[in-house]
Structure formats: C-alpha cells, structure tokens
Homo-oligomer: A and B are copies of this chain.
Amino acid sequence: MERLRWRVAAVATVGLALTLEALPSVLRWLRAWRRRGWRSSLRREVLFFPSQVTCTEALLQAPSEGPSGPPADCQCSLPHGESSLSRLLSALLAARASLELCLFAFSSPQLGRAVQLLHQRGVRVRVITDCDYMALNGSQIGLLRKAGIQVRHDQDLGYMHHKFAIVDKKVLITGSLNWTTQAIQNNRENVLIMEDEEYVRLFLEEFERIWEEFNPTKYTFFPQKKRNH
C-alpha cells in the first residue's frame, strides 16, 4: 500500500516537472495552432484577373448550381475548365437566401444571368449601384429591374465606387473588379472571397447604411453633375 502511494506521488511529481519543462513549447505550439486555425476552417480565396475566357454555360444552366462540368449538349469552342470568372460565378451561385450587391459598374452578361438565376430561385437580391454608370449602354441594371430585382442608386457628386457582394450574410466578395466584360477579360484586377464574420458584418452595415440613404423617397430630380473620379 505504501509502495503504491510512493508510485502515485512519484508519477505526479514527474508529470508536474515534465509539464513545467514542456510549458513554453506547448504554449508556442498552441499559438501557432491558433494562428493556423481559421485558415483551414473558413473559405478564403483570391482571384486575379484578366480571366481566361471559358465556357460558363454549365454553371448558368444547371438546375442546381455548383461546378458540375459542362452540360452534355455544350458544343461551343471555348475551353471548359475553371477560370477566375467561373470561380466568381460559383461563389455567387452558392447563395441560398440573400445576395447584396454594391457595384459601381455592372454590365457583364454572365454575371447578370447569374444574378437573375438567383432571383428566380427565390434568393432575396438587392442591388446598389452608381447612377452614372447604370445609364450607359450595356448596363445590366435595367434588365435586373425588369426582372423584378430591387435596385437603388446614388444621386451624389461622388461615385458609388464599391465593388462588393455579400452571399447569405456569410461570405464577402470584394476587390478592384467592376463587373464588366472589359474588366474581366482585359484588366489587372483582384477579388477576395472571404468567409469572415467580422468583415461581413462591417460590409453589411455599410450596405444597409447606403441602402437606407438611397431610399427612392429621398431622390431629387435635378441633381448636380459629377466631377471626375
């Protein structure tokens, strides 16, 4: 009985000594593990443009979305692999409940189709845009409005120059890219896709602030002209 007690005491003492000895290493490891943590668990992606021109029909026609290979009948001559545009489309088409868009320029037909598709699927889409750009030829804004999607725009001297989207109040998509074919195919651009609670909260607050400020009841009918940006 006494030998058992001795053993327990010895094991406990050695354990304590080892623990103290290893403490700095353990703490270092814990800190490293902590810093690595969110990277593995949350979606993070950077897209750079110009994007290779690829066929996006598979994404835009599939009854349920997600990257699912080209439909059997796609005969077009474009490559059918992934591109920055197809990855951007996939991130948007993942929406199930809501999509907030806050876009200076929106004329890309593929991105326009994706947004209309989401609207048809019952996703609540809201669009904020810049009043100057939306009046240009090729803008998707008129088509979105015709489809029944809510759009609000500025009347300021300054530009509504944001280019961000929020998917299901969970994923923030933001960067330098205006949603135009010119930008997608020819410009050097970046887009961050971030599943990040804090960033989403801050950008959603900005969206709601602007959404309220651009309430049509506040529109005036002869606003001043803008200066250059």
Report which of B34, B102, B161 forms a contact with A37, defined as CB distance below 8 A: B34
Interface band, chain A: 35 or more
Consensus secondary structure, chain A interface: mixed
Residue from the set A6, A46, A176, A206 with the largest chain B CB neighbour count within 10 Å: A176
- For residue A201, give the distance in angstroms from its CB to the closest CB of chain B: 10
Contact A182 B163 (CB under 8 A): no
How far in angstroms is the closest Cβ of chain B from A13? 7
What separation, in Å, do the CA atoms of A150 and B158 have in the docked complex?
A: 32
Q: Which residue of B lies closest to A177 (CB)?
A: B161
A137 vs chain B, min Cβ distance (A): 10
Q: Mark A148-181, 1 if CB is under 8 A from B, else 0.
A: 0000001011111111100000000011111010
Cα distance A6–B161 in the bound complex, in angstroms: 73
Residues of chain B lying within 8 A (CB to CB) of residue A104: 176
